Amino acid sequence: MEQPQIIQLPKIQDPRGNLTFIQNGNTIPFDIKRVFWIYDVPGGEIRGGHALKTQHEIIISLSGSFDVVITLPNGQNQKFTLNRSYFGLYIPANHWRHMENFSTNAVSLHLCNDAFDENDYSRDLNAYLNQ
């Protein structure tokens, strides 16, 4: 997968409460090596604002809603609103992203294919756009 896109995850509907799962080997296009989540975001705050040079990521809203804005290498913006926990946004490597418009109690889950590595970050938007 070369483009950012929404992946529909399995949803096991149940009157006792719904269930969604992800496992290595299918469902998503990489094996998961790292998971982190962002929560307690004060109103109006922005997270992200970087590209990952080699790592892929999937972002899921586990609770509430927020927008993920992707700035493509050509400078165009693509906005994805995440508000259902059975949708994952796949972000390929080398795509600038930030997250905004967090609702109260929003929780974003991030799945990555590698361990944290500050050297994999691109934090300069101009350098990213002029690569």
Q: Between β-strands 5-8 and 107-112, what pairing exists: parallel, antiparallel or unpaired?
A: unpaired
Q: Which residues bind ligand TYD (CB under 6 A)?
A: 34, 36, 47-50, 116
CB atoms within 10 A of CB 41: 21
Closest CA to 108 of 64, 44, 69: 64
Q: Are 56 and 29 in contact (CB under 8 A)?
A: yes
Q: Closest separation between CB of residue 121 and ligand TYD, Å?
A: 7
Q: In terms of CB distance, is 55 or 87 closer to ligand TYD?
A: 55
Q: In terms of CB distance, is 11 or 47 closer to ligand TYD?
A: 47
Is 98 annotated in the active site?
no
Sign of CA dihedral 45, 124, 122, 51: positive
Q: Closest separation between CB of residue 56 and ligand TYD, Å?
A: 14
Q: Closest separation between CB of residue 75 and ligand TYD, Å?
A: 20
**Which residues are designated catalytic?**
50
